[in-house]
């Protein structure tokens, strides 16, 4: 029989091991700042949380609601200023460069090299995932903004033909109005106004005009005849919104189309996440098409987790998270729920629905044709100051505070002042 003292010693030893394990476990934690708070977004985020939990990494959630990260950036500023950044932060486009410039980014080179990220992550994303040649972020997905989501029953009633240009879009919206629906579900906040505007710019002037006006912010393009057509179309589209559009979150507008109260929504493909969450099927309950007149081009927006320099033990969990994000199986599991497509070029489209398959095909084509371009509203076309300045004019015009003539004058002025 074991002596009492020996049992006590064993018990003490076991307790010590448990404590040490506990301490190691406590260090294996990631604190993640993000704005994925809608039903579809949260479901996708769960895929990542569960993946990490299985690896023994605890998830400390820091959600900051507000589409396109509008409020999340303010929260991040406060944390970084206090010298206490989260482990990983959902960031878009030029914001990644801005934060990296402040010297607060972690370095993911070792992991990226081991896993061969250079070869599989599209160059258009690498421009933002790297700073000074060093990997600072793990891209999660590729979204795109030039989509239109249509309620299938409403479309069938309207004749079933999908619009291929602005004129046909207007005809379809008129038919939805006649059905007693809100023809176009839209939420009046700057980033959503900008998401609609950039699709109209691309549709009106084509990819070369988008490059001039948006990517180069060329004053002549921002104030010329073509841009006048864009603002006129925005004014026309405004007549198809409901009265309560002001300030509405994007997912509530999606819900209006899902429930058959509205006919269509122009929105990025995160919208599909809401449809899927509501158990709706593409082709049966809803139809996804490129925003009329923008076929052949893709305005991209990619969510990336920038890793902050948190040093010490937390780095281990951070690298596990970055590695999990780039894992091909995760890329499929996450993006089929989120509505986006993989941030890697080596993933089969087999597990994706028809909208996802189309998204992947369009992306590959646009990438080889030179018509893959960054979204303005989501930070991939211009740095924050210029983006905000442009969105300001777009929103004021859409709300009737600026005439088209005044908007055409203001747009290049606002850009110049922001530079
Ligand atoms: C993000 C998406 C997100 C959407 C709405 C976009 O800027 O890239 O992941 O679903 O905003 O919140």
**Nearest-CA neighbor of 86 among 33, 27, 146?**
33
Residue whose CB lies within 8 A of the most ligand 1 atoms, among 32, 33, 34, 35, for a mutation test: 35
Q: Find out whether 217 and 386 touch, Cβ atoms under 8 Å.
A: yes
Report the pLDDT averaged over residues 221-237: 98
Task: Find tokens 């590695």 and name the residue.
Answer: 323
What's the pLDDT at 311?
84
Q: What percent of the chain has pLDDT over 70?
A: 94
d(CA 413, CA 419): 10
Ligand 1, atom 9: closest residue by C-alpha? 303
Contacts of 224 by beta carbon, 8 Å cutoff, 6+ apart: 408
CA of 40 relative to ligand 1 center, distance in Å: 11
Q: What is the 3-state secondary structure (H, E, C) of the chain?
A: CCCHHHHHHHHHHHHHHHHHHHHHHHHCEEEEEECCCCHHHHHHHHHHHHHHHHCCCEEEEEECCCHHHCCHHHHHHHHHHCCCCCCEEEECHHHHHHHHHCCCECCCHHHHHHHCHHHHCCHHHHHHHEECCEECEEECEEEECCEEEEEHHHHHHCCCCCCCCHHHHHHHHHHHHHCCCEEECCCECHHHHHHHHHHHHHHHHHHHHHHHHHHCCCHHHHHCHHHHHHHHHHHHHHCCCCCCCECCCHHHHHHHHHCCCEEEEECCCCHHHHHHHCCCCECCCEEEEECCCCCCCEEEECCEEEEECCCCCHHHHHHHHHHHHHCHHHHHHHHHHHCCEECCCCCCCCCCCHHHHHHHHHHHHHHHHCCEEECCCCCCCCCHHHHHHHHHHHHHHHCCCCCHHHHHHHHHHHHHHHC
Residue whose CB lies within 8 A of the most ligand 1 atoms, among 302, 303, 305, for a mutation test: 303
CA of 129 relative to ligand 1 center, distance in Å: 17
Ligand 1, atom 12: closest residue by C-alpha? 67
CA of 39 relative to ligand 1 center, distance in Å: 12
CA of 215 relative to ligand 1 center, distance in Å: 20
**Nearest-CA neighbor of 184 among 102, 231, 242, 250?**
242
What's the pLDDT at 27?
63
The per-residue pLDDT for range 1-13, each reduced to its tens digit, is 444 455 445 444 5
The per-residue pLDDT for range 312-342, each reduced to its tens digit, is 878 999 999 999 999 999 999 999 999 999 9
What's the pLDDT at 338?
98
Torsion of CA 90, 267, 146, 94, to 10 degrees: -30
The per-residue pLDDT for range 172-223, each reduced to its tens digit, is 999 999 999 999 999 999 999 999 999 999 999 999 999 999 999 999 999 9
Ligand 1: residues with CB < 6 A are 35, 41, 67-69, 92, 143, 250, 270, 301, 303, 378
CA of 270 relative to ligand 1 center, distance in Å: 6
Q: Find out whether 273 and 337 touch, Cβ atoms under 8 Å.
A: yes
The per-residue pLDDT for range 6-58, each reduced to its tens digit, is 544 544 454 444 444 444 445 699 999 999 999 999 999 999 999 999 999 99
Query: Tokens for 306?
Result: 């920038």
Ligand 1, atom 7: closest residue by C-alpha? 68
What's the pLDDT at 19?
46
With 0-12 CB in 10 A as exposed, 13-18 as middle and 19+ as buried, what is 104? middle
Report the pLDDT averaged over residues 396-401: 98
Contacts of 330 by beta carbon, 8 Å cutoff, 6+ apart: 47, 48, 51, 324
For the cut 50, the answer to whether the pLDDT of residue 236 exceeds it is yes
Residue whose CB lies within 8 A of the most ligand 1 atoms, among 32, 40, 68, for a mutation test: 68
Residue whose CB lies within 8 A of the most ligand 1 atoms, among 39, 143, 145, 379, for a mutation test: 143
CA of 90 relative to ligand 1 center, distance in Å: 10
**Nearest-CA neighbor of 235 among 409, 29, 406?**
406
How crowded is residue 25: how many other Cβ atoms within 10 Å of its Cβ?
12
Q: Find out whether 299 and 145 touch, Cβ atoms under 8 Å.
A: yes
What band does 345 get if pLDDT is binned at 50, 70 and 90?
Answer: very high
Q: Packing angle between helix 93-101 and helix 384-398, nearest 10 degrees?
A: 140
Average pLDDT taken over every residue of the chain: 94
Q: Which atom belonging to ligand 1 lies closest to the Cα atom of 339?
A: 10
d(CA 211, CA 375): 11
């Amino acid at each position: 029989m074991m002596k009492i003292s020996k049992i006590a010693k064993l018990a003490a030893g076991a307790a010590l091991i448990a404590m040490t394990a506990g301490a190691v476990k406590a260090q294996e934690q990631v604190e993640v700042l993000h704005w994925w708070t809608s039903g579809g977004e949260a479901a996708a985020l769960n895929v990542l949380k569960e993946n990490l939990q299985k690896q023994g990494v605890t998830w400390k959630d820091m959600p900051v609601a507000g589409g396109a990260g509008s409020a999340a950036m303010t929260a991040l500023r406060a944390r970084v200023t206090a010298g206490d950044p989260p482990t990983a932060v959902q960031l878009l486009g030029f914001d990644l460069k801005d934060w990296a410039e402040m010297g607060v980014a972690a370095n993911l080179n070792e992991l990226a090299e081991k896993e061969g990220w250079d070869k599989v992550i599209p160059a258009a994303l690498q421009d933002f995932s790297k700073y000074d040649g060093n990997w600072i972020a793990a891209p999660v997905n590729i979204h795109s903004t030039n989509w239109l989501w249509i309620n299938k029953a409403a479309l069938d009633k309207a004749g079933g033909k999908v619009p291929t240009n602005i004129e046909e879009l207007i005809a379809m919206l008129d038919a939805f109005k006649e059905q007693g629906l809100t023809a176009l579900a839209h939420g009046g906040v700057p980033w959503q106004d900008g998401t609609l505007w950039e699709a109209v710019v691309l549709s009106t002037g084509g990819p070369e005009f988008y490059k001039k006006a948006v990517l180069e912010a060329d004053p002549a393009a921002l104030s010329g005849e073509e841009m006048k057509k864009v603002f006129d179309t925005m004014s026309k589209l405004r007549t198809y919104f409901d009265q309560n559009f002001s300030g509405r979150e994007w997912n509530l507008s999606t819900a209006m189309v899902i429930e058959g109260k509205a006919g269509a929504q122009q929105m990025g493909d995160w919208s599909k996440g809401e449809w899927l969450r509501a158990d709706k099927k593409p082709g049966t309950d809803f139809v996804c098409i490129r925003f009329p007149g923008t076929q052949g081009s893709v305005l991209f927006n990619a969510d990336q987790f920038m890793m902050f320099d948190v040093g010490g033990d937390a780095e281990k969990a951070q690298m596990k998270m970055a590695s999990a994000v780039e894992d091909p199986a995760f890329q499929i599991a996450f993006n089929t729920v989120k509505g986006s497509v993989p941030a890697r070029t080596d993933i089969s489209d087999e597990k994706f629905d028809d909208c996802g398959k189309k998204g992947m095909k369009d992306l590959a084509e646009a990438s080889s044709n030179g018509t893959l371009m960054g979204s303005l509203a989501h930070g991939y076309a211009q740095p924050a100051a210029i983006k905000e300045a442009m969105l300001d004019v777009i929103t004021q015009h859409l709300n009737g505070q600026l005439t088209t003539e005044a908007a055409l004058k203001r747009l290049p002025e606002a850009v110049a002042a922001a530079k």
